[in-house]
Amino acid sequence: MEIIRTVKRLEEVVDDARSKGLSIGLVPTMGALHAGHRSLVERARAENDIVITSVFVNPTQFNNPEDLRTYPRTEEADCRMLEECGVDYAFVPSVQEMYPEPDTRVFDLGPVAEVMEGAMRPGHFNGVAQIVSRLFALAKPTRAYFGEKDFQQIAVIRRMVELEGFDLEIVPCPIVRESDGLALSSRNVRLSPEARATAPKIHYLLEQSLNLKADGMQPKELAATVAAAIDDVEGLETEYYSIVDAETMQPIDRWEDAGVLGAVGCVTVFCGGVRLIDNIRY
């Protein structure tokens, strides 16, 4: 595996692969890699001739400077994992390399980016669109892989791809969980032992809510019931729980209102001061 630190070298590698007609799988990450990232990389490895993984903590998508400062950075371990997974190129640029000039682009992301994470974290999705569009322009992937834990992010990236006219396939990959149900996240390392013991209740309560749907409860009431059940757990505090159309990200009143992709319940919960997100398909 080659570690690439410059845009120039990435462009050389990509031009060479493209000229040979090779397919390129891109796995964009912010590092602090875990088994969830591993599953994305393994899928990319199985489906493409060349695999590029980017490791870059993108400052423009952090609306909270403290979150950016304390975001886990584990470059050496990340590169070891990527090498083990058979990645061809780890693209690990500096902030200066990615943003020699400040990126002032504002994307018209529309309604998918206005709700939930978009409402709670102003500017976050515009920052995601900035970095992902830049990575797509440089790596020219045939396919790009994203985890469904950040379900809304995938909808936003699809919108950015449409706006920018990128010719590539977005491949959503299922959430990977700990054996007790906690969705893997780079932020899990920040959980205290008590918070870590409480956090799996989020997934447990989401799963239990499938029974409420089976009993005929409609989305709005179900969302309120689940949020209340989460808040009843000591140490958990719901920021939002919304049941939305899986394509448009807009809240639905009735299950029949969901389009072809169905409905998804998206939750953000504070657990011992750590902001965790998760979701479930209905």
Give catalytic residue positions: 37
Q: Is 269 in the site for ligand PAF (CB under 6 A)?
A: no
Whose tokens are 């964009």? That residue is 28
Q: Minimum distance between the CB of residue 30 and ligand PAF, rounded to whole angstroms?
A: 4
Enumerate residues 60-99 that contact ligand PAF by CB under 6 A.
61
* CB-based contact 222:243 (threshold 8 Å): yes
d(CA 116, CA 150): 11
| Helix segments in the chain, DSSP class H | 7-19, 35-47, 65-70, 75-84, 95-98, 117-120, 124-139, 151-164, 193-198, 200-214, 219-231
Q: Which of 28, 36, 118, 141 binds ligand PAF (CB under 6 A)?
A: 28
CA separation, residue 153 to residues 27, 33, 197 (Å): 14, 18, 27
Amino acid residing at 105: R
Strand partners, 147: 173
CB of 234 to ligand PAF, least distance (A): 30
Q: Which of 29, 39, 126, 142 binds ligand PAF (CB under 6 A)?
A: 29
By CB under 6 A, tell whether 267 contacts ligand PAF: no
Binding mask 135-154 for ligand PAF (x = CB under 6 A): ---------------x--x-
Encoded tokens for 159: 């919108």
* Contact code string over 97-136 relative to ligand PAF, x by CB under 6 A: -------------------------------x--xx----
CA proximity to 25, closest of 1, 9, 44: 44
In the bound complex, what is the minimum distance in angstroms from residue 223's beta carbon to ligand PAF? 24
Stretch that binds ligand PAF, among 4-12, 22-30, 74-82, 97-105 (CB under 6 A): 22-30
Query: CA 173, CA 37: separation in Å to the nearest integer?
Result: 10
Which of 8-16, 28-36, 67-75, 231-239 is the region at the interface with ligand PAF (rule: CB under 6 A)?
28-36
Chain residues that interact with ligand PAF, rule: CB under 6 A: 28-30, 58, 61, 128, 131-132, 150, 153
